[in-house]
Structure 1
Amino acid sequence: MTALHHVLSPGAVPLSVWRDIYRGADASLDPASRAAVEAGAQVIAGIIAKDAPVYGVNTGFGKLASVRIAEADLSALQRNIVLSHAAGVGEPLEPAIVRLIMALKLASLAQGASGVRWETLEHLQACFSAGLVPVVPGQGSVGASGDLAPLAHLTAALMGVGEFFVKGGRVPAVEALAGIGLQPLTLGPKEGLALLNGTQVSTGLALAGLFEAERVFQSALVTGALATDAAKGSDGPFDPRIHRLRRHRGQIDVADALARLMEGSAIRASHREGDPRVQDPYCLRCQPQVMGACLDLLRKAADTLADEANGVSDNPLVFSDTGEVISGGNFHAEPVAFAADMIAMALCEVGSITERRLAMLIDPALSGLPAFLTPRPGLNSGFMIPQVTAAALVSENKQMAHPASVDSIPTSANQEDHVSMAAHGARRLLPMARNAAAVVGLELLAAAQACDFHRPLASSPALERVRERLRAVVPHLEDDRHFAPDIAAATALVTAGAVIRAAATELPGLAG
């Protein structure tokens, strides 16, 4: 875990901080938020003292909201809602995701609108800071009345029920809590509902997908420029005058980046005069239009998720200035579902146009290069099957890119009759990002191999740095060899951000 530490100011956390937390940074609440939290808790205490019926405080939940609960049973009520709702299934969410979810929940509860006690937040903070990560099954939320099942598993662990990930292993919750000097959490009135309600699981998954998509997108700009040079494509389509006329910000930014990545290429200079081709294939020529549209989608999704991450999605909400507790529907994750669908579409298209460039490079009729990028085609198959692998991954992503937000299914005896499906819409993003990263890694291999045939001509300084970084782990392919290790090494350069760093060129991203 990195030594980087952020202080969270509830309601005003930048997207970059959530990115850092996802990648391992530590975080803690701003102590100044304590006053708002305690004011909200006092409102709940006042309601209990007056014995006024308030949903989620001294009533049942969902369809059972009309059932009054005696004061002596309020603690049991909160424990019961957690245990009964811990009904998730499937493989556990990755610890990095759950850490992000914990931080999102801290920042939400710390705004004082949920009525929880400060000591409850301290318990959650202590687990987060000590590296105790609840084991949370990934399936079971429809993204409506909060991410109930997964958040129930998170809360149950705080209560000593279930398991924590501790240093890579799974440890019974009671044992893990004792290891850092904590007793299991005993919930106060409304606290179980406050911890279960909210979109933090959907939002955390969507943010993780967004951050991985940004890295894949930027890497694909680099490999796309390298493939353009490898195919002796023109940088004319990246002329800024073209893109200013269309006015789309993402398109303008992408064209600028591609032009800068190719600047100074001797390969490009070698065919400025006398090239018989009038126009390049769309996979080269239309990169600004396709990748720019993807960037616009990612930025829109980022804006939505930044708002959601800084919002309060609990129910009911406590307004300490008036002493009111008002039921609403902030737990409905429709904005997150739409954002996840946008990210999915962008990932799908980034992989799709990348695969088309790879297919173009291995086809001698289109590229003018040796068939399948091998010096001795026939004896060797070269890049024949890596392109098939890329095609398979792209098709998988096409299937997963179908929008989740258009689906709904009634739950809770029709009390919750329209749901967002945000959780599984967001959960598919990491597998999609891994697929797209592998496609970009395959293009990196092919484009570097193709450029080898242009020696002694070199590409631009930026792209030559990328080739050198690849060649440090993957040598030129002279004759067929075991391909899988090469693919794994190139993909790792993409997922680790090494391709972006090697280019050492400013690339457009979420904050661009």
Structure 2
Amino acid sequence: LSHLALVLIGEGEACYRGTKMSGAQAMSKAGISAVTLEAKEGLALNNGTQVMAAIAALSLISAENLCKQADVLAAMSIDALLGTPNAMNPLVHALRPHPGQLISAKNINSLLKNSPLRDSHKNCANVQDAYSLRCTPQAHGAARDALAYARKVLEIEINSATDNPLIFPEEKQVISGGNFHGEPLAIAMDTMAIAISELANISERRMEQMLNPALSRGLPAFLAHRPGLDSGYMIIQLTAASLISENKVLTHPASVDSIPTSANQEDHVSMGSVSAIKLLQVVENVSTVLAIEWMIAAQAIDIREIKSSAALELAKARLREFSPRLAKDRVMYPELHKSVAAIKECAVLKAVEQSGIKIY
């Protein structure tokens, strides 16, 4: 906040069109006059939760979009693995009606509806799938509910006065309070990080189900065209595992810590800025893990040689615009980068909604 304020008054440093220069030069080149501060404005610019609130708001939007796309990718994986529809039955979820769980179950059911691949094994003897398939609504739903809590916190926060002291002209009072304390945001951001990290955790387990021939119900090892000669998607799963391991460190709550400063006047702080920075990285990591599941699920469906639902075929077709079916080993990081970028742009969501299905 202080560095932003310095530039506003023509001091400090800033970047203009990629070049770092003095704040005065940057303001001049941008055609903006330096601000002359009046009473209390300097303190207000330095003191508050604006930075962490801004990061939290951007992260929340990304996280909500990741939840929606995670449902789509889970549906692709379930179909690729010949998953039983029983666990998605609305009767099951009505008996434990957590809002997020109900939404995720509804999304997955609508995505799998009229899938020829699903219909191809209706009479199989399979009774139940691994947890990473049949418990998807419960896991994804819990993440959704955590984000709903964070949204409520943020909607209050960004419409609040968080500087100090606060001036009440009508009451003729100047009150030193504590609205600058970031605890509400810190706890909300730590909760968001934990919640969306679970999207990645369960996603990677679905990958394992598709890549492991002992679990995949007939798919070749690592979805390779020539198992034993080609590595298939073996190595890209390692990328997912690495990012998930990193998330296990990043999701340790910063808000459980504090350190006193200012001669013990500021003896308890939220550490919310640390929560914010960690959350940004968790969002990035989860985006990458989901992009990997997209690539693996598409390969698995193609190998089945039976079409999935119209909606999921659209999601697969969107991926195939830059990531063709794997016929032999190739360098995969360029298409992974494109897949991650597409996830960030909600490409999976936009693709399936072209079929007329609305993902909530």
Secondary structure of the 2:14 match is: strand
In the aligned structure 1, how far is the partner of 2:3 from the partner of 2:294? Answer: 41
Map of 1:42-81 to 2, 5 A cutoff? none
Of the three residues 65, 85, 88, the one matched with 1:235 is: 85
Measured against aligned partners, the alpha-carbon deviations of 1:267-311 in whole angstroms (never above 9, x if no partner) come to 0001011x1321100000000000000000011001101110111
Conserved in 2, the CA contact under 8 Å of 1:304 and 1:335?
Answer: yes
Secondary structure of the 1:506 match is: coil
What residue is the counterpart of 2:43 in the other structure?
193
In the aligned structure 2, how far is the partner of 1:451 from the partner of 1:259? Answer: 17
In the aligned structure 2, how far is the partner of 1:408 from the partner of 1:349? Answer: 26
What residue is the counterpart of 2:103 in the other structure?
253
What residue is the counterpart of 1:430 in the other structure?
280
Of the three residues 213, 235, 239, the one matched with 1:364 is: 213
In the aligned structure 2, how far is the partner of 1:398 from the partner of 1:215? Answer: 21
Cα offset, 1:243, TM superposition? 0.9
Conserved in 1, the CA contact under 8 Å of 2:99 and 2:141?
Answer: yes
> Match of 2:125, as an amino acid?
P
Cα offset, 1:411, TM superposition? 1.2
Secondary structure of the 1:366 match is: coil
What residue is the counterpart of 2:264 in the other structure?
414
What residue is the counterpart of 1:166 in the other structure?
16
What residue is the counterpart of 2:142 in the other structure?
293
Measured against aligned partners, the alpha-carbon deviations of 1:129-166 in whole angstroms (never above 9, x if no partner) come to xxxxxxxxxxxxxxxxxxxxxx1111011111122333
What residue is the counterpart of 2:331 in the other structure?
482
Is 1:156 aligned to 2:12, yes or no? no
Is 1:223 aligned to 2:73, yes or no? yes
TM-score, length basis structure 2: 0.96
What residue is the counterpart of 2:125 in the other structure?
276
What residue is the counterpart of 2:241 in the other structure?
391
In the aligned structure 2, how far is the partner of 1:168 from the partner of 1:430? Answer: 22
TM-score, length basis structure 1: 0.68
Which has the higher Rg, Structure 1 or Structure 2?
1
In the aligned structure 1, how far is the partner of 2:294 from the partner of 2:35? Answer: 50
What residue is the counterpart of 2:25 in the other structure?
175
The higher relative CO (CA closer than 8 Å, separation ≥ 6) is in 2
Of the three residues 215, 226, 251, the one matched with 1:401 is: 251
Is 1:203 aligned to 2:44, yes or no? no
Is 1:338 aligned to 2:187, yes or no? yes
Which stretches of structure 1, 4 residues or more, deviate above 6 A after TM superposition? none
Cα offset, 1:395, TM superposition? 0.7
Conserved in 2, the CA contact under 8 Å of 1:212 and 1:430?
Answer: no
What residue is the counterpart of 1:134 in the other structure?
none
Secondary structure of the 1:453 match is: helix
What residue is the counterpart of 2:352 in the other structure?
503
Conserved in 1, the CA contact under 8 Å of 2:84 and 2:126?
Answer: no
Unaligned ranges ≥5, structure 2: none
In the aligned structure 2, how far is the partner of 1:253 from the partner of 1:435? Answer: 24
> Match of 1:201, as an amino acid?
V
Secondary structure of the 2:214 match is: helix
Cα offset, 1:180, TM superposition? 4.5
Measured against aligned partners, the alpha-carbon deviations of 1:62-113 in whole angstroms (never above 9, x if no partner) come to xxxxxxxxxxxxxxxxxxxxxxxxxxxxxxxxxxxxxxxxxxxxxxxxxxxx
In the aligned structure 1, how far is the partner of 2:50 from the partner of 2:115? Answer: 46
In the aligned structure 2, how far is the partner of 1:185 from the partner of 1:375? Answer: 64
In the aligned structure 1, how far is the partner of 2:284 from the partner of 2:358? Answer: 23
Conserved in 2, the CA contact under 8 Å of 1:206 and 1:427?
Answer: no
Cα offset, 1:214, TM superposition? 1.6
Cα offset, 1:182, TM superposition? 4.1
Unaligned ranges ≥5, structure 1: 1-150
In the aligned structure 2, how far is the partner of 1:181 from the partner of 1:445? Answer: 46
In the aligned structure 1, how far is the partner of 2:346 from the partner of 2:224? Answer: 28
In the aligned structure 1, how far is the partner of 2:165 from the partner of 2:318? Answer: 54
Measured against aligned partners, the alpha-carbon deviations of 1:318-355 in whole angstroms (never above 9, x if no partner) come to 11221211110000010000110111011210110001
Of the three residues 117, 123, 127, the one matched with 1:267 is: 117
In the aligned structure 2, how far is the partner of 1:238 from the partner of 1:279? Answer: 11
In the aligned structure 2, how far is the partner of 1:212 from the partner of 1:167? Answer: 26
Q: Cα RMSD over matched residues?
A: 1.2
